Amino acid sequence: MKFSQKIIANLKLGGADFFLSVPCKLLANMITILENDKDIYYSAIPREEEGMGICAGAYLGNKLPCIMMQNTGIGNSVNSIVSLLQLYQMPVVFLISYRGTPGEPVGAQGGMASVTEDILNTLRIPMLHCDTEQDLDKISTFTNHAKVIESPVAVLCNFNLMKDD
C-alpha cells in the first residue's frame, strides 16, 4: 500500500486530476485509494482505447488525465494514441503496471512485455521506469512534463516493485 500511496500522491502533485483504469491486480491498491479520493474523478472502464478518447475529452475540459492499465493496454490503443492524443497534442499520463517483467508468475505475459518498450519508443513516448521506491519520487515531475510537452508520457511500474505493496 505504501508504494501505491506514493504513486497516487506524486501523480496528483504533478497535476493529474482525472483518473481512469482498466484494472490489474498490481493496480488494485491504487484503485482503492482513488475510489475514496473526493478531490479527483475516477472510474474503471472496459477498454483502454476508449479510455484514450475519454482522456482526450477530459483534457479539452482542462483536466490532466491519467489512465492506469497493464502494458497490454498499450497494444489495444496504438491508433488512438497516434491519431488522437499525439495528433492534437494532448497530455495524458499512462500509469502502467508492467506485467511480464522479472518476478512475474504468468509466463504468457512475457510476450507483450518483450515488445512494450519498442512500441513506446516507436511512438516516441517518454518513459519513466520505476524499479525502486526512489524512482517513484520522479513521478510528479514526469507527470507535469506531459503538460509541458503536450504529449502522452508513460510511467512503467515493474512487477517486482509492486508485487509486495
Partner 1 sequence: MMNRFELLNLLQDTIQNEFVICNIGLPSQELYKINDRPNYFYMLGSMGLASSIGLGLSLTIDKNVISIDGDGSVLMNMNTLATIGNRAPSNYTLLIVDNGSYGSTGDQKTFTNESTSLKDVAIGAGCKNVIECSGEETNENLQKALADTNNSYVIISKIKSGNVPIKPIPLNAVTIRDRFRKEIGLVTYL
Site for partner 1 in 32-91 (CB under 8 A): 41, 43, 45-47, 49-63, 65, 79-80, 82-84, 87-90
CB nearer to partner 1: pick between 89 and 114: 89
Contact 102, 129 (CB under 8 A): no
Does residue number 2 form part of the binding site for partner 1 (CB under 8 A)?
Answer: no
Each residue 81-120 as x (binds partner 1 by CB under 8 A) or -, in order, gives -xxx--xxxx------------------------------
d(C-alpha 160, C-alpha 102), whole Å: 7
Region for 125 from its dihedrals, namely left if φ exceeds 0, alpha if ψ lies in -120 to 50, beta otherwise: beta
Residues in Cβ contact with 103 at an 8 Å cutoff, skipping those fewer than 6 apart: 158, 159, 160, 163
User: Closest separation between CB of residue 122 and partner 1, Å?
Assistant: 17
Q: Of the candidates 41, 32, 97, 108, which has an alpha carbon nearest to the alpha carbon of residue 71?
A: 97
Q: Which triple of cell numbers denotes residue 94? A: 499512462
Does residue number 18 form part of the binding site for partner 1 (CB under 8 A)?
Answer: yes
CB nearer to partner 1: pick between 46 and 102: 46
- In the complex, the residues that contact partner 1 under the rule CB under 8 A are 18, 41, 43, 45-47, 49-63, 65, 79-80, 82-84, 87-90
